[in-house]
Amino acid sequence: MKKIPEKFVKIIDELVDQFEFADSSERPWIIGFSGGKDSTVLLTLVWMALLKLKETIPNYKFKRNVYVVCNDTLVENPIITSYVDDVLLAIEKSAVQNGLPLFVKKTTPKLEQTFWISVIGKGYPVPNNAFRWCTDKLKIRPTSSFLHEQIDEKGEAIVLLGTRYNESASRERSMRKHEVKNQRLSPHNISPNTMTYAPIRDLFLEEVWYLINAFPSPWGFDNSILFKIYSDASADDYECPTVVTTKEHKSCGQSRFGCWTCTVVTKDKSMTALINNGKTWLYPLLNFRNDLQKERNISENRLSKRRNGQNAVNEEGMNQGNYTPEYRYSILKRLLEAQKEVQKEKPNLNLITHQELIAIQVLWNRDLIFNKNISELYREVYGRNAVAGNFRSIGALEKRIVKEECENDSKMVGLIENLLSVQETKSLLISNHGLNNDLEKVIESQIKVQA
């Protein structure tokens, strides 16, 4: 095996000292792991430091845990998702075999904050530079939630960052602005009782790739797979943050491997490059993403008011509110069609979950949209139901009974059918939270119509 260069040895020794000697507390280390080159190098060096402690100190017992936290936005580039899932399995297995206190944690956004719930369910316009809501909802909040759990348990935590001065001039300015001179740890600017630590801050890009390419992964994975992914996707080299440490750190959109739905960038260079290098099954995703971006500001796709009732018409008379029900329905239809197309080659790949589909129907009913039925749309695209016990509109028998009991009073029949639709979709969720309010809202809307 090649001798590890002195620069890497110094980082490993620093990690050993910080883990065992410089810090007497038991506060855990948390590594934001994206599966990209920098987080891979960071974890590699931490792994080597832990092994060194175990091998050099007789009967050594680790006093703190190291959590490898990977955030899945649920709209990640499918190639990266598959790669990261395989890597995480290898990390978990090898950590146990080596007796290391390394634990993998995968975070995801809450159901009510996923990308498709926000866009299709609530009608949020897809993100752009002026309205970049995605990073906070999909990445920051899920990981921050786990971070706060650790702080509640241990009182404090240390977040290890794979940031480097050499990444860009702006990144170096931001890092130096918030670091404490001559100190390894810096206070977390947003989360109290949290410190940040950037062990690979002085590494250059060439050194990062040298460690990945010249030395085997300590958890037994094939690093050449990562190198091949990068070489197939030549684009701007920047990764979205999963743990925000400064207000300046929220920017995202230049990432090499971001969400496949990202509409902040003008062109998705990485997905285009992957397609040009043989991953042609990604075409439906790229085309769908491009359509979302082109159609974002079309007035006919937007309402004249926002969800809070605020007027949203600009000086030119263009609607700038949330998406209309018709456009939200159109997005979902095209998404399901794209999913069906990619499943011809990737049968296990779902672009939207069944739980999201059910929740979207609940949100539509909450918005009094009863003429858009997701079950019928799913059958139109797939020729079958989405799930057993499928969310649905009420059946023919139920409609006949309602009409008979209401003596064909069309207004009363419509009210009862809408109430049943709200109850039906709510019953398929884990919780019926908000059901009473939704039913009251339907009744109030009917009273207003009759008045």
In DSSP notation, 112-164 reads: GGSHHIIIIIS-PPPP-SS---HIIIIIIHHHHHHHHHHHHHHS-EEEE----
Q: Please give the order of strands across the beta sheet that includes 29-32.
A: 102-107, 66-71, 29-32, 157-160, 194-197, 185-187
- Site of tokens 């999913």: 339
Structural domain of residue 63, as residue ranges? 6-225
Mean pLDDT of 348-354: 95
Token pair for residue 239?
Answer: 């990764």
Q: Which residue, 250, 232, 233, is CA-closest to 241?
A: 250
Region label for 322, one of left (φ > 0), alpha (ψ between -120 and 50) or beta (otherwise): beta
Confidence bin at 237 (pLDDT 50/70/90): very low
Mean pLDDT of 422-449: 50
By three-state DSSP, how is residue 295 classified?
Answer: coil
* Residue 299 CA to its chain's centroid (Å): 28
Q: Which amino acid is at 33?
A: F
Task: Establish if 69 belongs to a structural domain.
Answer: yes
CATH number at residue 119: 3.40.50.620
Residue 239, phi then psi, degrees to nearest 5: -110, 140
The confidence score (pLDDT) of residue 239 equals 45
104 and 65 Cβ atoms separated by less than 8 Å: no
Confidence bin at 435 (pLDDT 50/70/90): very low
The confidence score (pLDDT) of residue 416 equals 47
Task: Establish if 43 belongs to a structural domain.
Answer: yes
The confidence score (pLDDT) of residue 413 equals 46
The confidence score (pLDDT) of residue 173 equals 81
Task: Establish if 67 belongs to a structural domain.
Answer: yes
| Between residues 439 and 223, the one the model is more confident about | 223
Inform me whether the pLDDT recorded for 353 exceeds 70. yes
Task: Establish if 296 belongs to a structural domain.
Answer: no
68 and 104 Cβ atoms separated by less than 8 Å: yes
Token pair for residue 323?
Answer: 């998406």
The confidence score (pLDDT) of residue 274 equals 92
> What is Dmax (Cα atoms) for the chain?
87
Mean pLDDT of 75-96: 96
| Between residues 438 and 105, the one the model is more confident about | 105
The confidence score (pLDDT) of residue 244 equals 41
By three-state DSSP, how is residue 166 classified?
Answer: helix
The confidence score (pLDDT) of residue 372 equals 87
| Number of domains observed in the structure of the chain | 1
Q: Which residue, 137, 134, 156, is CA-closest to 147?
A: 156
| Between residues 371 and 175, the one the model is more confident about | 371
Task: Establish if 268 belongs to a structural domain.
Answer: no
Percentage of the chain beyond pLDDT 90 is: 61
Percent helix, percent strand, percent coil in the chain, to nearest 5: 50, 10, 40
CA distances from 315 to 311, 320, 441 (A): 12, 11, 32
Task: Establish if 394 belongs to a structural domain.
Answer: no
| Between residues 315 and 254, the one the model is more confident about | 315
Q: Which residue, 156, 158, 146, 142, is CA-closest to 240?
A: 142
197 and 159 Cβ atoms separated by less than 8 Å: yes
Task: Establish if 231 belongs to a structural domain.
Answer: no
Q: Where are the beta strands (DSSP E) in 28-128?
A: 29-32, 66-71, 102-107
Over residues 131-176, the pLDDT tens digits come to 899 999 999 899 888 988 888 888 899 999 999 987 877 777 877 7
Task: Establish if 314 belongs to a structural domain.
Answer: no
Region label for 131, one of left (φ > 0), alpha (ψ between -120 and 50) or beta (otherwise): beta
| Between residues 416 and 145, the one the model is more confident about | 145
Q: How far apart are CA 401 and CA 407, in angstroms?
A: 10
